[in-house]
Amino acid sequence: MDGITGLREKYLRYIAAAGDMDTLENLRLAALGKKGEISLKMRALGQMSAAERQVAGPALNGLKSEIDAALKARRAALEDAILEQRLQAEWLDVTLPARPRPSGTIHPVSQVMDELTAIFADMGFSVAEGPQIESDWHNFDALNIAPEHPARQEHDTFFMHRAVDDNRPPHVLRTHTSPVQIRAMQSQGAPIRVIAPGRVYRMDMDQTHTPMFHQVEGLAIDRDITMAQLKWTLEEFCRAFFEVDEVELRFRASHFPFTEPSAEVDIRCSWEGGQLKIGEGTDWLEILGSGMVHPHVLRAGGIDPDRWQGFAFGMGIDRIAMLKYGIPDLRAFFESDLRWLRHYGFASLDQPSLAAGLSR
Ligand code: DAH
């Protein structure tokens, strides 16, 4: 039929040359739209004789499908090209460092608690816990501190309120971690090997005292525990914690109601040039109280003192943190000053280990 070959060549050529989607769409409308050249020709089929229609009909239908297919193929090719262009233009360097995000630091007290927990865990001690609001019995009586004992006053205790007409002794904010000894005995029975790090409270506030501070309690109970094992355990701890090969501890006879005999322990150090060195020099620094657990205390914890004995110690965590990391003022520990926290804090990935903190 007239013009079919011409139309075919024209559109196939234009379609192949179309460089963008708009041009392609205009070509589709020009050929196959309502008023498109091919559509008009198809409409004209109605006016033809049956014989003419039999020739022209299939030819036009063939042309229509051919143009349709060419349009689709060209559209796909253009889409591919557009995608290819985007892939070239927009690329992502996954090796770039991430954007910095604000991050906090680990408080020196938390860091030191993790460190000492790791060291004692290595020696077979597990961690025990007790409440910070403690019964007067656990905090005093069970530890062989009688109601009239001066230690009750010495401790400058914070007392909780009881309801009106409730005459039971008020609970206290625990003044030391020693009540956890009793709780561990009651819940585990003998033998025992635990440490109990945590917060304690006393009404006290000056350059070296804050109303809240931290202690770690240690307790080992077995058939034949002696002071010698206490001494070895503490020396081993100090060696690991202060990262020195040689430490010298001095056991000074002392008195605590919950131990007999009792000893306060000092560590040899030097302050030469204003800098503290552990393990050398001529000065001594007190770091803890300790002793053999008093039979009354064992009994209060439900343990038979004729069959079991053990040692206990209580150490100031803030104190040893200040010593290890050269932090001069205790009060700054609890002031939440961001500059202080950034300076003395530890990165969250700084693993507590025997050499932790060196990379700071
Ligand atoms: N609880 C004592 C205090 O707060 C420290 C202490 C001394 C704990 C001797 C002990 C110990 O376990 O045996 O000062």
pLDDT digits (tens, 9 = 90+) for 140-173: 999 999 888 776 765 688 989 888 999 888 899 9
* Residues with a CB atom less than 6 Å from ligand 1: 176, 178, 217, 256, 259, 289-291, 312-314
The CA distances from residue 54 to 1, 8, 23, 277, in Å, are 11, 19, 34, 110
User: What's the pLDDT at 100?
Assistant: 87
The Å distance, Cα 263 to ligand 1 centre, comes to 10
For 48-62, how does the pLDDT look when each residue is reduced to its tens digit (9 = 90+)?
A: 888 888 988 899 999
Whole-number Å distance between alpha carbons of 248 and 280? 8
Q: What is the pLDDT of residue 353?
A: 57
256 vs 359, which has greater pLDDT? 256
Pairing of strands 133-134, 172-173: antiparallel
- Residue 1, pLDDT above cutoff 80: no
Tens-place pLDDT, residues 294-344: 999 999 999 999 999 999 999 999 989 998 988 888 889 999 999 999 999
Q: To test ligand 1's pocket by mutation, which of 120, 125, 176 has the most ligand atoms within 8 angstroms of CB?
A: 176
Threshold 0.85, pTM exceeds: no
Q: What confidence score (pLDDT) does residue 92 get?
A: 85
Q: Looking at ligand 1, which atom is closest to the CA of residue 200?
A: 4
Please name the residue whose Cα sits nearest to atom 7 of ligand 1. Answer: 289
Class of domain 108-344: alpha beta
Tokens of 63: 């042309």
CA-to-CA separations, 39 to 29, 35, 159, 165, in angstroms, rounded: 10, 6, 98, 102
Q: Where are the alpha helices (DSSP H) in the chain?
A: 4-17, 21-32, 37-43, 50-89, 108-122, 136-139, 150-154, 179-188, 227-242, 295-300, 317-325, 338-344
